[in-house]
Structures are given as C-alpha cells and as structure tokens.
Structure 1
Amino acid sequence: MFRTSFESYVEKIDAFLECLSWDEGTMGQSMRYSLVGGGKRIRPVLALAAAEAVGGQADSILPSACALELIHTYSLIHDDLPAMDNDDYRRGRLANHKVFGEGKAILAGDGLLTYAFELIARPLPVNAERQLRVIQEVAQAAGPEGMVLGQVLDLEAEGKTLTLGEIEQIHQHKTGAMLVVSARMGGILGGGTEAQIQALTRYAQALGLAFQIKDDILDLEGDSATLGKPAQSDLEQEKSTYPSLLGLAGAKEELAVKIKEAHEALSVFTQSVDFLHSLADYIADRMH
C-alpha cells in the first residue's frame, strides 16, 4: 500500500517537473539534467502527504510542493562542486559540473532556486495569508538561517572532531530545515490547525535527523553503484558523522530513536496518517 501511494505521488511530481518550461539552451539543459535525473522526491512527497493528512487536496498544492524539489536539486548541484564536496557523481550519473562546467553548474543552481519561488508564488486555491506564510518559511528554510547555514557549518567542520550536539546542529539546518518546511507547507496550505502543523513539525524534525543518520550509515555500508555517488566520501573528507562519533552500532541505535520520535509526533492525528508512519520506516530502511 505504501509503495503504491509513494509511486503515485512521485508520478505526479515527475510529470509536473517534466512539463516545466524554460530556455532550452545550455543553461536550460543544465537545469533539466539535474532536475529530472532521478531522485527520491522525498520533500515534495512529504508536502503532498502532509496536506492530505490535515484534510487538504494534494493536487491543489502540486506546484508549491514541486518547488521544493527545485530547491533541493540546486543544493545538490552546488554541493557537488569542487569548492564544496567535490563529488563527480550524483544519482548514478556525472555531476552537473562534470557535464556542463563549473560556471554553468553554479548558474543552473541559481536558476532552479529562483524558479522555485516563481512556482510557490503561483495562484493556489488556498487562503492567501497561508500562501504568503509558506513563501516566507521556505525562504527562511533555504536561506542563511536554514540550509545555507548548514552548508557553511558543514564546510567549517571538515577535519574537526565534533560533539553530537554540533553534528545535530549542522544537519538540523543542512538537511532538516527543508524537510521540516516541506511538512509545514503541506500542513499550512492544506488548511491544518496549528496543533496539526506543530505535530508535523516535530515529525519532520525527527525525520530530518533520521535521514542524515541513515545517509552516514549508508556512506559506510553502501556501495557506489547503489548509492549513485561515491561511497565513503565522508571518510575521505574527514567529516564528523554519527558513526564516527557513536560507532556504527550506536548510529543505528540513534536512528531507531529518531524514527520512534517521528512516529510519536503523529499521535495527535485522529484521522489516518498511515502513509506518514510508513514514510518514516522507509527513511530508516532505504538502501540509497
């Protein structure tokens, strides 16, 4: 049931992304190369599922949900650059800068980020104040108070031994901020109550840390072919990770704790939120 629902969400998201139009010169090709080149689509899926969890219609917020994937893709393009993580592969293919050059990769990321806000600002059949609230929250989550700050902290941490609190601070911003705003977007645009929106926030906060812990585990246990990017890159870059601090067994225990917290956060819902429960388990069990 979960797999069917998940695939249904992804089909809608991919269909929408395929239909986006912009200049088809090399700039447009670079943007499209990374945007439609695979990906789990977790952020837009989470937004759509959260909207339905509060009684809203997923289809009505599809443009805004898909904007989250543009922001995520921009961050991946920039993250792979030599000045950042210096990765040659992403999603099983050459990284954007290896195909189009560093300059166009940077600009492709810039283009996707800007276009995302054009999508979020499109007229929706929802309360205008709720839409404005979402625009502001997405900007905060993607910007210097959120994901960008996480990237900065991550760069500054290379070669250093961090505490668990410092690692969590990085990932609450780098990964967690956009997952949290994805859930909040769905809750807000779907017409949720403040109690429901706060529950979705707690759920996504736990999910964000669980996602990163699993990434750290996969970096050690996975292989490059399955991951679609180089394995053990964190080791090579001397990054502090959950396994490096807690050990592999300890990291898996911490992952279980965060997944439990995600499940518990959903207890306020009286209607079925089975998909969100299953999504948390999917994050814990994924292999790439």
Structure 2
Amino acid sequence: MLPEPSLDFAAYRAAIDAKLVALSPAPLPGQTALRLALRDSVIAPGKRLRPLICVIAAEDLGGPSEPALAAGCAVEMVHAASLVLDDLPCMDDAAMRRGRPATHVAHGEDVAVLAAIGALAGAFQLLATLPDTTGERRAEAVAVLSAAVGVKGLVGGQFADLRGGRERRQMSEIRVANGLKTGALFRASAELGGILAGADPAARDCLCSFGSEIGHAFQLYDDLLDATQNPVLLGKDVGQDAGKSTILSLVGSGSAERLIERHLERADAHLAELFGSASRLSALVAQIFAQADRTVRQAREAQVAGETGRGAGRP
C-alpha cells in the first residue's frame, strides 16, 4: 500500500519495491535460473524515478493510487529489460549494472535475453489487467507504453546510438536519439499517470513535455557520470562513451551542466502550468538531481585524488 500523499519519497520507493516483488513475472516451477535472472534485473536496487513520476502525477491530478502504482511498476519492468539488453555483448558489452554483475554475466546471455522478454511481456500484461480502471484507460496505457518501447521510442533510440554513436553527429541528431532512448520512458511514466487520473489532452501534453525535459537532463547527467571513470561509485561500467559522439563530447562539461539547468527549468515550467508554482513532482525532481550533482562531484573528487596519487608515486 502507498502512504498518504506526502513528500516522503522513501516511503513511496518502499511501496514500489514491495509491489515489484509481488507483480514480477513468476517462471514455471523448476526454472530457477530464469527466476533468479528476473529477480536480479527487475528487483535490483534503483532510484525508481519512473514509477514515482507515474504515481505522483496520478495522485496530484486526483487519480487513484493503486492502479498508478501498478502502471509505474510496469514501466520499471520495461526499464529493467532495456538495461539487460543494453548490457549484452552485442550492444554495450557492460559487465556491471546497479553495483552488481550484469544479468548476462551472472546468468548467461541466453537466460538474460529470456528474462528481458519475460519482463517486457509481464509489463504489458500488468497494464492490460490494471485494477479499478476502465477498459478504455487500460487500452490507452498499453498503447502509450508500446509506443515508448517501439521503433519510435527505445528501439529507435538504441539503434541510432549503436549505429551512429561512433560517427560524427550534429547536436540535433544526438538530441533526437537521446529523446527516444532515454526520454521515451520518462514521457510514458508521466503520461500514464495522467491517463489513469482521467486528465484532459492539455494536461497530458504538459506531462509529456515535462517527461521529455527530464529525459534530456537525465541523459546529460549520465554522460557526465560516465566521464568520471568511477565504476565503484556509479555501480556500472564507465568509459562506455569513449570515442562516442555525445552532447558532452561536443560542448564540454560546463556547457552540459548549463544545458541540464535549462532542461530542469523548462520541466518546472511545465509542472507550474499544471500544478502551480510548488508541486510534489517538482520537489521529487529537485531531490533526484541534487543527488546526481553530489554523485558527479564525488566522482570527480575521487578522480582527481586518484590522478594526484598516481602522480605522487612517479619517480
């Protein structure tokens, strides 16, 4: 159960984690390897930002909490599946994710692929059977998340990143890819909250625009973190963007940080249009990105300390 609407986001995360455990796909008896892979990918520790956005948007628009919680978990399952696939040797070939061995490293590539497909299927089954929701809203929710995953969403963004990332690209091209690969699920999370609250098209447009801005800001932070070369602090492989055409590689860290500020300002403006000058979504975003700032700063300090230590040891 969710707490009463509040700014206690830790309580919301605890409710989301518990719901993920309850709703995650359950493999057939005896298929222990698949069960463990699903557990490690879907229930692995995370910020749960996408389901938080879904639930809080729905609540603050006067919608029911429980269907939004389930829908948020569906988005988190899709996100988890995308990370499993992203880490595969045929894609980014990453060994670590969320402070643990990547799913294909821990469980094998074959089981990892099946776990990702299982999580994706489970997400759509969850949306199609949302409780206390009309059939029309369930259908809309399925359509929105399907679009976010498909060729004009995650799939299209990942393809652009894999096939074009090593080539010289214009900033506009990179922004489009980022908007698909990272922004799609943030947009879907926010819009699902609106759908389940019965929001009108204008309100849903505001939520989608908010999600887009958050997606761009989040991707820029991810690029900054990748450049710090601190896998222990970040919990995943770093240096994945080396030689890759990113906005950070085009404009440098100072300009990237200013771009993040602009995206967050625009995200706040969309929220203000819908909820007024102070909203829980705005507070959530401020909290998440303040933590991201601290992580970048800590990683940079560790990087400088390591370089200084190596320099002191030279003859």
Aligned ranges for residues 6-85 of structure 1 at < 5 Å? 6-20=9-23, 22-23=26-27, 24-85=31-92
Cα drift, residue 79 of structure 1: 0.4
Distance across 2 between alignment mates of 1:172 and 1:270: 24
Cα drift, residue 6 of structure 1: 1.6
Q: Deviations over 1:26-53 (max 9, x none)?
A: 1121111111111111111110011012
Distance across 2 between alignment mates of 1:221 and 1:15: 33
Cα drift, residue 273 of structure 1: 5.3
- Give the TM-score taking structure 2 as reference length: 0.86
Alignment match, 1:168:
175
Aligned ranges for residues 189-204 of structure 1 at < 5 Å? 189-204=196-211
Find out whether 1:183 has 2:187 as its counterpart: no
Contact 2:271 2:279 in 1 (8 A): no
Aligned partner (choices 101, 106, 126) of residue 94 of structure 1: 101
Find out whether 1:278 has 2:293 as its counterpart: no
Structure 1 portions without partners, runs of 5+: none
Cα drift, residue 281 of structure 1: 2.2
Contact 1:262 1:280 in 2 (8 A): no
Alignment match, 2:311:
none
Distance across 1 between alignment mates of 2:238 and 2:89: 17
Q: Which has the higher contact order (CA 8 A, sep 6+)?
A: 1
Alignment match, 1:143:
150
Q: Residue 16 of structure 1 aligns to which amino acid in structure 2?
A: K
Alignment match, 2:312:
none
Once structures 1 and 2 are overlaid, which stretch shifts more, 11-20 or 178-187?
11-20
Distance across 2 between alignment mates of 1:280 and 1:4: 12
- Give the TM-score taking structure 1 as reference length: 0.93
Aligned ranges for residues 217-232 of structure 1 at < 5 Å? 217-221=224-228, 223-232=230-239
Q: Residue 227 of structure 2 aligns to which amino acid in structure 1?
A: L
Once structures 1 and 2 are overlaid, which stretch shifts more, 19-28 or 269-278?
269-278
Give the root-mean-square deviation of aligned CA atoms: 1.8
Distance across 2 between alignment mates of 1:100 and 1:270: 45
Distance across 2 between alignment mates of 1:45 and 1:56: 14
Distance 1:272 1:8, change over 3 A: farther
Distance 1:132 1:247, change over 3 A: same
Runs of 4 or more consecutive aligned structure 1 residues displaced over 6 Å after TM superposition: none
Q: Decide which structure has the larger Cα Rg and report it.
A: 2
Find out whether 1:152 has 2:159 as its counterpart: yes
Distance across 2 between alignment mates of 1:84 and 1:155: 7
Q: Deviations over 1:219-263 (max 9, x none)?
A: 12362111101222211xx21122101111110111111011101
Distance 1:255 1:111, change over 3 A: same
Cα drift, residue 127 of structure 1: 3.0
Structure 2 portions without partners, runs of 5+: 297-315
Indicate the SS of the match to 1:233.
coil
Distance 1:34 1:246, change over 3 A: same
Distance across 1 between alignment mates of 2:101 and 2:72: 26
Q: How many residues align?
A: 285
Alignment match, 1:259:
264
